[in-house]
Structure 1
Amino acid sequence: MSQSKSTFAFGSDRLTAGKALALARGATTGELTPKVMERVRANRDAVARIVAKGEPVYGINTGFGPLCTTRISPGQTSLLQVNILKSHSVGVGIPVADEIARLMLVLKLHALSMGHSGISENTLKRILWHIDERITPVVPSQGSVGASGDLAPLAHLFLPLIGLGQVTRDGVEMPAAEVLREYGLEPLELGPKEGLALINGTQFIAAHAVCAVEKMQRCLSQADIIGAMMLEGLQGSLMPFHERLHDLRPYSGTRHVAHRVRNLLKGSEILEDHIDCERVQDPYSLRCIPQVHGASRNAWLHLKELVETELNSVTDNPVVIDEELSISGGNFHGQPLAMALDYACLAASEIGNIADRRIYLALEGNQTDLPKLLMKDTGLNSGYMMLQYTSAALASENKSLCYPASADSIPTSMGQEDHVSMGSISGRKALQVLENVEKIQAVELLTAAQAFEYRKPLKSGWFLEKAHELVRTRVSFAEADRVFATDIEAGLDLIRSGALIRLLETVSRKKALGLKTEFDPLFETF
């Protein structure tokens, strides 16, 4: 018996990254409640009265940007809103993924439904139609400077409302006008302020941030699992993960990682076998897993908290409080998310950087019973040597992407917009770095599984044994050279699918390993 989908009330319920993704993926349905529509209608009426008074209010009866002193007659206010969508559709580059474009629709609909944007009920209903029918506007990835809103991408996002631009349906791109005719729909006629409300906002930046929150959480969870497997393969010490040590420097992320790794290694025969070895301490890439992984977790938590604030904010301009108060401010400025995304970008890069160092460590052949390059018959075979070249290349690429986009600003709009956030670049870079980290993790997973194999017949903790079995269902132990790109692709599928995380959840329930801590509500939900 299938479960019915949950329902989210736009403009009323609190939006999170997880809920936004569920709406964009069709796992949750959205609705516009009568109470929300009444609030929207009242705000729309306030805009109509402002127009009737004839008093100048930015974007309602004036031009935009440097043309803010140019008055627009009441008869031309609708044409003004159409022209702003046309003139601001200047995006270039490869279109963003359909999921990001749908997220933009979800985030914008929620913000507009709060009733401070002068939007009409029909416009909100049409945006919801696009979400429900998965008719996704085509949005170029480049062109936003991240202030005065994500103007260019949002203009492209909403061209279909007026019968222009391109959309995709079932992965096929086609003109928006053609799709509207097919569904018997007419292009919308925008009223005063509507075009400006549609293109002002941070939804391009925020959509990338939502995806980054999900992807980074998955990378962080898997980093601990793969790091624990590598610790076993290299016969590393568990002492650096001791609870008493981390009570003396109690960062929440560090304590969380140390606790997870301790539990992942519960009952390990491998640990017991070398408990009295002569090695005094491990290299940093093993010994400092709690500190490095934990610091990145703290960065993720910071991003998640700011994203949730942004998702439930009004970020267009001007903001119409009521008929008597319209505020032309700067809620559209992307700096709050731009800086957090740059921080997250660096934090994600470090997860890949330390993973590459563990991969290299595993190939050195300096550990007991672990052959050089993780293969016994080397010379004729190169073993795992070249896999580390790939992780090194990806780690280096990530370092070059860590320059903070938010540190830059180029004035636009004839000096009216003299400081911009470049947050759209921050968001795009963060996702690119995370995709590279996933590939590095695929290489580390294969390397750790290969090293792990050399510890047999000794067994690790129950979960890591199951995790190793899962890897072996996709990639066999390598006794001789082969086309390792195929192995990496299989490992990458495991990483992207989150299969290791789901396995951990299953094992936790079955074995009651106590893998949850007081920090899990912070780090494991969004």
Structure 2
Amino acid sequence: MTPVILDGRNLTPEAVMEVAVELREVVLSGEAGERVGRCREMAEELASAGKVVYGVNTGFGKFSDVLISPQDTARLQINLIRSHACAVGRPLPEETVRALMLLRANALAKGYSGIRLAVLQLLIDCVNRGVHPVVPEQGSLGASGDLAPLSHLALVLMGEGEAYYLGERLPGGEALVRAGLRPIALQAKEGLALINGTQAMTAIGTLTFMRSRRLARIADAIAALTLECLRGIPEAFAEEVHRARPYPEQIGVAKNLRALLKGSRLTTRQGEIRVQDAYSLRCLPQVHGATRQTLEYVRDKLTIEINSATDNPLLFLEEGMVVSSGNFHGQPIAFAMDFLKIGMSELANISERRTERLVNPALSGGLPSFLSHAPGIASGLMITQYVSASLVSENKVLAHPSSVDSIPSSANQEDHVSMGTTAARHAVQVVDNAAKVLAIELICAAEASEFVGADGLAPATRALYDQLRARVRPVVDDRSLSQDIERTAAALLSGEWLVAVEAAAGPLY
């Protein structure tokens, strides 16, 4: 796999996922390195000229009016990192930290931050050699940047804090040494440049978006399998219907469903069993399509953010300007993460309703009660719907928008904040819950297939059925399904089963 070249302009969510999860190497472009070097020269000239520049020779936040003497500028940066590294909670997953480091490096590569090239290169080297700072997940307000989480990253570059290396949690300095790296002594502006940005919320958000996109695509296949087991009517997905309401995402989902159901011997026509299906089946393109709309919005905002300069102040070489501004404010990502939560919660909501139709004998069109092979003696899949209902209820709480909250900080100097990192963290939970809800639907639909006849499934849904059955055997006798649900959810999030489905149906939207 070729390296990802960082130039501050062209990073994609897909590349972030590849670096974070697949350990793809990272290389700084020569042009970006030259810009970073020139910007550092400008920062040093400003510092030596004695011009008042926020964060170079002033304090931070409410202390911005306190001037710092030249002999204390390096100490100022060290104190900044140590004092701000007070995040709490569980450590972020190592893959999230890799994404965080990558995004911070890409922002610095734009050449607006005044950092030395050696500091940026050390950050990139940590990505490539697997030095992953221990970054607690809680403590960011999402404005002035993700200060507390990013400070834990910067500590390790200084040889302090803690980091994971080859699966072992070590003092930061020791982790660097084992990886063949040396810590760096921060100079003027560099501590602030490392922590003043939105990379924690954006890293969490980017990985969550990529998993959401996979989940949305496989959700169409799961729903198609359910529709077959309930003897549904695919005429509602006719191309003509969706051209009449031309949302591209709705049209795309309807096209998916036509491809997924092609060749099925279980679907019915209007009037054959019923005139029309319930909304959770008939309105699949409209509801799943609307979730896709939220994902398109999120993708657009993430793509801009991961290629943005989000620290303060910014140095503009051509104009000879240094400007204190507010690009560190996370409101765009806060809104995007809240929107993602809502869209994925609704994907889970409609899935739970389809699960109810599969297990409820009053709604399933003749399937055994709770898909039990011995109703009464065996409860079958009764309680899986309870679990699904619990998860979608939890999602409704998590989907409450974080972005509408704000608590002033730094003695009211920073009087409006985004809470974007909280929104991103909640989005992770929503998507994980949605994956489990869809896993439950898939397990129930596969069980229903045992009763209606899996041989009648369309080739694409049969491929999905076969993938599940390779991991989850039929529930002929009651057993605990917890691990089956967890394993199935993990497979859905990984996207691995999409390959088999698309081999039968063709590429899905």
Q: TM-score, normalised by structure 2?
A: 0.96
Q: What SS does the aligned partner of 2:137 have? A: strand
Q: Does 1:316 align with 2:316?
A: no
Measure how far apart 1:32 and its partner are.
Answer: 2.1
Residue number in structure 1 paired with 2:74: 78
* Aligned mates of 2:377, 2:355 — CA distance in 1: 21
8 Å contact from structure 1 (residues 438, 492) kept in 2: yes
Structure 2 counterpart of 1:524: none
Matching residue of 1:507: 504
Give, in whole Å, the separation in 1 of the partners of 2:267 and 2:407: 55
In structure 1, the partner of 2:370 is 373
2:8–2:307: 8 Å Cα contact kept in structure 1? no
Which of 471, 474, 483 is residue 471 of structure 2 equivalent to? Answer: 474
Of 253, 256, 259, the residue aligned with 2:255 is: 259
Q: 1:142-291 to 2 correspondence within 5 Å?
A: 142-182=138-178, 185-272=181-268, 276-291=271-286
Q: 1:359 corresponds to which residue?
A: 355
Which residue is equivalent to 2:485?
A: 488
Classify the secondary structure of the residue corresponding to 1:351.
helix
Distance 1:215 1:411 in 2: 33
**How has the CA–CA distance of structure 1 residues 163 and 239 changed in structure 2, closer, same or farther, with 3 Å as cutoff?**
same
Deviation, 1:474, is: 1.7
Number of residue-to-residue matches in the alignment: 507
> How far is the alpha carbon of 1:449 from its aligned partner?
0.7
| Structure 2: 5+ residue stretches without partners | none
Pair 1:271–1:152, CA change in 2 (3 A) = same
Q: 1:503 to 1:75 in 2, by over 3 A?
A: same
Cross-structure match for 1:301: 296
Paired amino acid for 2:272: C
Q: Distance in 1 between matches of 2:262 and 2:169?
A: 52
User: 1:494 & 1:47 partners in 2: Cα distance?
Assistant: 49
Report the equivalent of 1:18.
14
- What is aligned with 1:420? 417
Asked if the contact 2:460–2:502 (Cα under 8 Å) also holds between the matched residues in 1, the reply is no
Give the 3-state SS of the residue equivalent to 1:107 in structure 2. helix
CA distance 1:498–1:34, shift in 2 (3 Å): closer
CA contact (8 A) 2:96 2:203 kept: yes
**Does the 8 Å contact 2:403/2:419 carry over to 1?**
yes
- 1:292 and 2:279 aligned: no
User: Could you tell me how far 1:275 is from its partner in structure 2?
Assistant: 5.4
For 1:523, the equivalent position in structure 2 comes to none
- Aligned position for 1:452: 449
- 2:420 partner letter: G
Whether the aligned pair in 2 keeps the contact of 1:363 and 1:384 (CA below 8 Å) is yes
Q: SS in structure 2 opposite 1:421?
A: coil
Give 1:278 deviation, angstroms.
Answer: 4.1
Letter in 2 for 1:390: V
Offset of residue 184 of structure 1: 5.8
**1:360-409 CA distances to partner (integer Å, 9 max, x unpaired)?**
11111244441111124211111111111110111111111011000100
How far apart are residue 72 of structure 1 and its match? 0.7
1:461-504 deviation line (CA, Å, top 9, x unaligned): 11112221222222222233222224323423432332321112
TM-score by length of 1: 0.93
Change (3 A) 1:308 1:463: same
CA, structure 1 residues 40+290, in 2 after alignment: closer, same or farther (shift >3 Å)? same
- Does the Cα contact within 8 Å between 1:270 and 1:458 map onto a contact in 2? no
Please tell me the residue identity of whatever aligns with 1:470: Q
Kindly provide the amino acid, as one letter, of the partner of residue 503 in structure 2: T
Matching of residue 7 in structure 1 with residue 25 in structure 2: no
Structure 1 pair 351/411, CA: closer, same or farther in 2 (3 Å)?
Answer: same
> What SS does the aligned partner of 1:168 have?
strand
Root-mean-square deviation over aligned CA pairs: 1.6
How far apart, CA to CA, are the structure 2 residues paired with 1:202 and 1:324? 25
Checking the alignment, whether the CA contact within 8 Å between 2:8 and 2:107 is kept in structure 1 is no
For residues 500 and 452 of structure 1, what CA distance do their matches in structure 2 show? 18
Shift of 1:176: 0.8
- 1:450 maps to a residue whose letter is E
**Distance in 2 between the 1:327 and 1:413 partners?**
20
Alignment match, 1:128: 124
Identify unmatched segments of 5+ residues in structure 1.
521-526
Q: CA distance change for structure 1 residues 189 and 493 in 2, over 3 Å: closer, same or farther?
A: closer
Partner Cα distance (2:240, 2:179) in 1:
65
Counterpart AA for 2:201: I
**Matching residue within 426, 429, 434 for 2:431:** 434
Pair 1:346 & 2:335 matched: no
1:317-359 deviation per Cα after TM superposition (whole angstroms, max 9, x unaligned): 0000138311111100000010011011011011111111111
- Aligned position for 1:337: 333
Instruction: Give the distance between the partners of 2:391 and 2:156, measured in 1 at CA.
Output: 38
For 1:267, the aligned partner's letter is: G
- Alpha-carbon offset, residue 76 of structure 1: 0.9
Note the alpha carbon deviations across 1:430-469, whole angstroms, 9 max, x for none.
Answer: 0110001111111110001111222227512111122212
Could you tell me which amino acid in structure 1 is paired with residue 63 of structure 2?
L
Corresponding residue for residue 53 of structure 1: 49
Question: Which secondary structure state, in structure 2, belongs to the residue aligned with residue 474 of structure 1?
Answer: coil
| Amino acid paired to 1:394 | L
Q: Secondary structure at the match of 2:90?
A: strand
